[in-house]
Chain A
Amino acid sequence: MNKKAILPALLALLAVAPAAAQYTYDPSAADELDKPGNLYFGSARDERGAAVPDVMVILETTQTNFTLVTDEQGRFRARLPLDTLAASVKASCSRPGYVVVRVTKRLGPKRANSPVQVDCLLKRQGAR
């Protein structure tokens, strides 16, 4: 076995593993895309990368709000109506005892039902 070849492969695997562990599904998989509605998914983490559960995630459109809450892995996902214009959806996050550092919205490929990722970075109130 070529040890020189294995090491980079292992390192690459380790680099990918945490990200892969964040989600138990592939948002680009055909069965996900076939479901009705536009998939929104994402996570809430603190400044050390730890998952933050029970974060209120609000996806605000011109018509209404969609209110989600992150699970114990700090994840959420939901489907919004297909006629919701992803670019105009305003995302916000909040949880008592935390300060929101950043909310990142990543649009998918330019298709009507491409998944949209929303990630929240929070900091515990009083933390340096």
Chain B
Amino acid sequence: MRKFTHFQGVVAPLDRANVDTDLIIPKQFLKSIKRTGFGVNLFDELRYLDEGQPGQDCTNRPLNPDFVLNKPRYQNAEVLLARRNFGCGSSREHAPWALEDFGFRVVIAPSFADIFYNNAFKNGLLLVVLDEDTVDRLFKAVEENPGYALDVDLERQRVTTPDGESLSFEVDAFRKHCLLEGLDDIGITLQNEDAIRDFEAEHRAKRPWLFRDSA
């Protein structure tokens, strides 16, 4: 996993609550057996005026000029500003894969859905929760200032605005550590191999019906 430490990027505003993972990456693209290449189909139904197909060359598809990510000023955006309950619905990890592949490193919203929250951190995508009023202010600032960029410092858990305002955010210590170091979860867990084996033996003794081979 790519490390995330300190980062500054242009902000794109997606002014919509309850953005679901079907909207982030529609189901037809879930047929891929790869982890990469989902960026061109991020927000496919909002971004293009036609229906996208997996494997299709998207360079000549008609773009929806009203969609925020198609506007020239947000072309190089790496921070997505969103509304409450971002990432609800399906557990598809293709959603963070698509956001990351498109170029986003951070999503800021008042709240995120649980499974999406989990999936994002496993892919180097930092999710920042700020309160509704602050997010509202950021939406206004982004709209009023072309090229509006935010500075995101994971180590210090701070987002800094262009005029120097510092906004602190919460992130749990374990996820922060993994993201800062770019650590692989499985490697960390396997350091506890003995503890897992001990637990398993005890679990089997107490509840043998959970182990088909002990029937």
Decide whether A and B are members of one complex.
no
* Chain B residues close to A by CB (< 8 Å): none
